[in-house]
Amino acid sequence: MRVIKVLLVTILMVAFAMPVQAKIRSVGKGDKMNFDPSQIPNDLKGAFEIMKVKCIQCHTQERTVIAIQTGIAPVTGQPFDKQATKAYGIKMLRKPKSNMSREEVKQVVNLMNFLIDEAAKP
Amino acid sequence: MPNIIRNALYLILSVMAVVLSCNSAFAIPAFSREHNTECATCHTIYPELNEYGDAFLKNGFVWNKKGKDSAAAENKAAVKGEGDPDILKQLKEFASVTTSPKEAEPPAGAPKKSEPLWLAGLPQTVPLSVSAALNAAYNNDVETHKVDLSTRAISLLAGGVFRDKIGFFLKYNLYAEGEYNPSVSNTPTNSNPPYANDLDEFYLVWRKALGTPVNLKAGRFRPTLSLWKKTNKTGISDFATTSFKVGKSQFSADSTEDALEANAILLNRIFVAAGLVDRNGQKNNEGYGHVSVKIGGSDFRSNEPDIDLDKESIFDYIYLVLGAYGYTGRNSIDLFSTQLNNFYRAGADVDLVVKNARLKLAFARERDTNPDFSSHVEAVTDVWAAQAEYMFTPDLLAFVRYELTSFTDGSRINRIIPAVAFAPMQNTKLTLEYQHVATENSVVANSSSDIVLVGARIAF
């Protein structure tokens, strides 16, 4: 019994010791990972819906979540800041397969900039 | 729990872990694995490159390092310690490129990089891939053997970069069977002379040599000439402007050569390359040069244009690449022959992309002083090509190409090639291509032929 208790305590400690490294919360794991919808303000909910539908046509939301949380684009290893969000927005606008309109890109860039600001808060 | 059961459980779990990880790890080739990204990042329909793939290639297999210097400086200031100054320097550099400015460790799900591997200069994944092609041809104009199902090839590919300094690429033809004709098939040779053609390409790139913008490339590779080559296409047949040969001369712009090349990106939108080719039996080395300019779109370092998201403009979706090249050399039928052929090849290309549509225009001229290695009758050959391409969906692309080859004696070859390429997965491609070839000849009767090619290609 003592062994089981120690084991349980250890598991709980490990579970709660997982580092929370950013202010931006995510839900799900792997290809199901997404931003926690509760932290998206009402005026950006529409942009979040666009992001959820359009961005996953080519890549998982995990890639975006990691970029925002770490400040590093996972593929290129380059800083993911507001300059980068605009550049990625333009890239997606120009990408033949992205199926994103200019207005949609603009809204998603605004959302990513908001998330970057949130992530930077102390 | 008896040891035997526990060990069996460990074994089953270990095997499951390996199997599950293999499913994702081996689904895509070396660059995808190393950078944890999909094929479509660099390709339209594999293996044709998009503008980001082209930039990745031009930069020696490294992504644009925008903002790296400032991030590196920030991290260098944060890293403290004593010890071997060389190792410390390496660790600081490693920290600057692999971790977040804010976080020491990436969160769960983020790609993790091994410091020891990086310190050893090794890629994070084993940089090997296999590419395999099956081609079938139907030619109604021949008497026998109308259907040919025996054309197949398997190649081993390796590519990557050692700590962003030394890029490398290798293509080794493991197996090939079937008739090789560059104008109708993409099957590589691995026949005579023994093993000479097995190694299709193997080269190293010293990136930004001695701190200059110049990349030095050495080994066996296709010299940087035309904007397109046989490894960068959606169809089965190659552009006539790069694959054509004159008389008995074996030179084509698509041939791999043992060469040394210097190339550089200037002002982010100009790409220049110059090289020397060495071949046994030459009196002098051969030489070539290339220049291309990109207008619109992202530049050759993948920097996106500064587009106003509030204003709609068709020009935001257009880019144009203009290229020109020249190659001069001298060859003969064998090493001891005194029947030499001096030749030059010059060409110009245009690549215009408007949203999902793409137009490729190409012209090449070759002048040979003795192309049959006997008569010393000069020949001038002009080749024109135009290809209109449209991507209907991310996995479906169609094109039609017209080619005209004009010889000194007045004879001409016209080719019309419509094709459809379908990629059910990003690393799998099916191509259906039709070729109508009409030959106009001033000496013998005109002729024509029709060929249907079906190709399947996978890479993993």
Instruction: Encode pLDDT of B307-321 as tens digits.
Output: 888 888 889 999 999
Confidence class of residue B439 from pLDDT cuts 50, 70 and 90? very high
Residues belonging to chain A with any Cβ–Cβ distance to chain B shorter than 8 Å: 18-19, 21-22, 29-30, 33, 58-59, 62, 65-66, 69-72, 74-79, 81, 83, 86-91, 93-94, 96-97, 102, 105-106, 109
A66, with CB counted inside 10 A (0-12, 13-18, 19+), is buried
Report in angstroms the alpha-carbon separations of B109 from A83, B14, B169: 24, 21, 29
- Cβ of B63 within 8 Å of Cβ of A78? The answer is yes
What residues are paired with B214 via a beta bridge?
Answer: B264
Q: What is the ipTM of this complex?
A: 0.72
The tokens of B219 are what?
């080994």
* Alpha carbon distance B304, A37 (integer Å): 30
3-state DSSP call for residue B158? strand
The tokens of B430 are what?
């099916």
| Pick from B171, B202, B217, B200: nearest CA to B58 | B217
Report in angstroms the alpha-carbon separations of B62 from B90, B168, B328: 19, 11, 31
- Cβ of A19 within 8 Å of Cβ of B394? The answer is no
B113, with CB counted inside 10 A (0-12, 13-18, 19+), is middle
Query: Nearest CB to B297: which of A62, A94, A105?
Result: A94
Q: Which residues of A touch B37 (CB under 8 A)?
A: 75
B245, with CB counted inside 10 A (0-12, 13-18, 19+), is middle
Cβ contacts of B284 within 8 Å, gap of 6 or more:
B330
Closest-CA residue of B relative to A69 is: B107
Position B219, amino acid: G
Average pLDDT rounded to a whole number, residues B220-246: 91
Q: Which residues of A touch B64 (CB under 8 A)?
A: 76, 78
Cβ contacts of B256 within 8 Å, gap of 6 or more:
B200, B201, B220, B221, B222
Closest-CA residue of B relative to A75 is: B35
Position B218, amino acid: A
Residue A21: what pLDDT?
44
Å between A57 CA and nearest CA of chain B: 10
pLDDT tens for A12-42 read 554 444 444 457 788 888 778 888 888 899 9
Domain B127-459 in CATH 3.40.470.10? The answer is no
Confidence class of residue B64 from pLDDT cuts 50, 70 and 90? confident
Task: Please say if the pLDDT value at position B14 is more than 50.
Answer: no
Confidence class of residue B28 from pLDDT cuts 50, 70 and 90? very low
Q: Looking at residue B40, what DSSP letter applies?
A: G
Quickly count: other Cβ atoms within 10 Å of residue B324's Cβ: 17
Segments making up each domain of chain B, as ranges: 79-106+113-118, 127-459
Query: Nearest CB to A74: which of B110, B304, B356?
Result: B110
| B428 close contact with A: CB closer than 8 A | no
Quickly count: other Cβ atoms within 10 Å of residue A72's Cβ: 27
